[in-house]
């Protein structure tokens, strides 16, 4: 009689018997129980149920523009339209929020996209010699 062991995970391994054996055994690793799980022998194969694995969504980050006394309001509106795909009205509202409250939310994205937008806005502002600061924080 041949025995083969198959490790499914650190917790469960399956021991199958081929030949004249009537049962296959599933034994939990580290389990000291006398009774192993009994599975019917179907030509030395065991049918395992598929478990649905749910992954949690990635964390989201807010991209923020910070107010300064030197960057023109028109430039902030251009940045919001160019990098955050806002229309003129929405870009103007966000620009005024940045001006009045000191910061404004431009959008909420996954970490990689938010970091890319921060870098694009910062380099665009430097290229045009403006001290506009763009940062991201967890939403």
Residue with the larger pLDDT of the pair 49 and 125:
125
Angle at 91 between CA 136 and CA 74, to 5 degrees: 100
List pLDDT tens digits, range 82-115. 999 999 999 999 999 999 999 999 999 999 999 9
Question: 24 near 14, Cβ under 8 Å?
Answer: yes
Structure confidence at residue 48 (pLDDT)? 77
Q: In three state form, how does the secondary structure of 38-57 look?
A: EEECECCECCCCCCCCCCCC
Contacts of 23 (CB under 8 A, 6+ apart): 17, 38, 39, 40, 41
List pLDDT tens digits, range 15-72. 544 455 444 455 455 555 566 666 656 666 666 788 888 999 999 999 999 999 999 9
Hey, is 5 helix, strand or coil? Answer: strand
pLDDT at 139 over 70: yes
- CA-based nearest residue to 61, from 111, 112, 134: 111
Structure confidence at residue 51 (pLDDT)? 85
Q: Is the pTM of this model over 0.95?
A: no
């Amino acid at each position: 009689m041949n025995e083969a062991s198959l490790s499914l995970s650190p917790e469960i391994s399956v021991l199958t018997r081929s030949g004249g054996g009537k049962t296959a055994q599933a034994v939990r690793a580290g389990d000291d129980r006398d009774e192993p799980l009994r599975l019917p022998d179907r030509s030395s194969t065991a049918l395992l149920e598929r478990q649905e694995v749910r992954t949690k969504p990635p964390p989201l980050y807010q991209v923020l523009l910070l107010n300064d006394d030197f960057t023109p309001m028109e430039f902030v509106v251009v940045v919001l339209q160019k990098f955050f795909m806002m229309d003129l009205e929405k870009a103007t509202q966000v620009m005024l929020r940045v001006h009045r409250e000191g910061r404004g939310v431009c959008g909420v994205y996954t970490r990689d996209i938010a970091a890319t937008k921060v870098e694009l806005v910062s380099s665009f502002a430097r290229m045009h010699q403006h001290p506009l600061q763009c940062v991201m924080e967890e939403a």
